[in-house]
Amino acid sequence: MTATKNERVFTVTGQDWDDLTDEIREAKDERIVVNMGPQHPSTHGVLRLILELEGETVTEARAGIGYLHTGIEKNLEFRTWTQGTTFVTRMDYLSPLFNEAAYVFGVEKLLGITDEVPEKAQVMRVLLMELNRISSHLVAIATGGMEIGALTVMTIGFRERELVLDLFELITGLRMNHAFIRPGGVAQDLPAGALEEIDSFIRLMKKRLREYADLCNANPVFKGRLEGVGYLDLEGCLALGLTGPILRSTGYPWDLRKTQPYSGYEDYDFDVITWDTADAYGRFRIRLAEMWESLRIVEQAAKRLEGLDGAPVMVADKKIAWPARLAIGSDGMGNSLDHIRHIMGESMEALIHHFKLVTEGFRVPPGQAYAAVESPRGELGAHVVSDGGTRPYRVHFRDPSFTNLQATSVMAEGGMVADVIVSIASIDPVMGGVDR
């Protein structure tokens, strides 16, 4: 403990909470300011919370962010449009395919090729995004459970997420940071055996997803911690710009996949899940039910892919389509030997074409576009500006975690300090997306 002019500063390093409370008991003042984070297991990465407490009641809560700022938007301006997917996929690291999709939809809008993207690429994008929604919601539920002491929810959540990541590894070559959705289509055709793997995944998940409902839905401890916590009504959501499960927990069925369909979502049969309690429990139930809906979409997408064997996955325009056919090996994505043989041994023109497109990139007509997708956390928007060059002039991401985190104060203030954790978990912020 150190003393400054009017205040006393305590440094709590762990397992010394009793010392702190003993010290505070002597003091007449009940008001303490607690700095939580940025390195704390319950703050979802490097989020910093500054809490002012009167006893156990939170009178003021402020969130401090920026600890994971990596300048991705600035870096994008120095790389080609295709290389951009490699950057944006690293923003919100729990939903990389949504970042890629939002960015790519913006670029395609500027190129004017939205309708020319082949059907198989569109279906594969939907398939990957919905698998990603499942893995992201699993982490939300798993970490949210862990933070209130439900460790089994955490272990089984990460167990199932691993299955999704295995599928990603099979299809894209990487478990995370895929850079797989590219302007004009996707990087690679579906590998052999992928549909069978997806099929067995769906069958397994239909059994496993029930476990979460059995463990949590009617569990009195779980409900006691979540019900009525982190309340925010529809008006508050819209004023603060909140979207995704938080908005749907107020009973408003706003889902961009239904209202402003992209990538052919209008062709799939699924429901928008809502709840009417506007609290953390409702958001949990929405995420749980949305995984079932995602599973339905994955099932339909896989069925469509059966009939699209051998169909193109990249736009036909050779001035945009990535020339290299990549191969997926045990160590990720790499060069295709067939393609190397073609450009190095058979065709000078193919080599020039490859060189021009891969090093210089394609030009995007000047203008600006805004493309939004329904990410697991809400509206993920990409504002893409081109000056007609081979590199983005400016790309800004409207990340739902960033916007939703503004609700920390309204959700936490007036409640108990233990409920702050539940509120934050129900927002499900991913700091990679918040700080970019």
Positions touching another protein (CB under 8 A) are 65-66, 69, 71, 73-75, 77-80, 109-110, 112, 238-243, 254, 259-260, 359-361, 366-370, 372, 379, 381, 383, 385-391, 393-394, 396, 398, 402-403, 405-406, 435-436
Smallest distance, another protein to C-beta of residue 240, A: 5
Q: Which is nearer to another protein, 190 or 405 (CB)?
A: 405
Smallest distance, another protein to C-beta of residue 263, A: 16
Residues 6+ apart with CB under 8 A from 313: 118, 120, 121, 124, 185, 186, 188, 189, 190
Smallest distance, another protein to C-beta of residue 258, A: 10
Q: Which is nearer to another protein, 160 or 374 (CB)?
A: 374
Q: Which is nearer to another protein, 47 or 134 (CB)?
A: 47
Q: Which is nearer to another protein, 302 or 384 (CB)?
A: 384
Smallest distance, another protein to C-beta of residue 333, A: 20
Q: Which is nearer to another protein, 408 or 426 (CB)?
A: 408
Amino acid letter for position 109: K
Rounded alpha-carbon distances, angstroms, from residue 94 to 69, 78, 124, 132, 431: 16, 25, 19, 8, 10
Q: Which is nearer to another protein, 332 or 388 (CB)?
A: 388
Buried b (16+ CB within 10 A) or exposed e, 93-130: bbbbbbbbbbbbbbbbbbbebbeebbbbbbbbbbbbbb
Rounded alpha-carbon distances, angstroms, from residue 117 to 324, 354, 364: 18, 21, 16
Over the Cα atoms of the chain, what is R_g?
A: 24
Smallest distance, another protein to C-beta of residue 64, A: 9
| Burial class (CB within 10 angstroms; exposed 0-12, middle 13-18, buried 19+) of 187 | buried
Contact 76, 383 (CB under 8 A): no
Residues comprising the chain, all counted = 436
Rounded Cα gap, residues 312 and 121, in angstroms: 8
Q: Which is nearer to another protein, 153 or 369 (CB)?
A: 369
Q: Which is nearer to another protein, 60 or 77 (CB)?
A: 77
Question: SS3 for 422?
Answer: helix
Nearest to 423 by CA among 44, 69, 134: 44
Smallest distance, another protein to C-beta of residue 339, A: 21
Smallest distance, another protein to C-beta of residue 344, A: 19
Rounded Cα gap, residues 137 and 26, in angstroms: 45
Can you list the alpha helix ranges (DSSP code H) found in 16-79? Answer: 17-26, 72-76
Smallest distance, another protein to C-beta of residue 53, A: 21
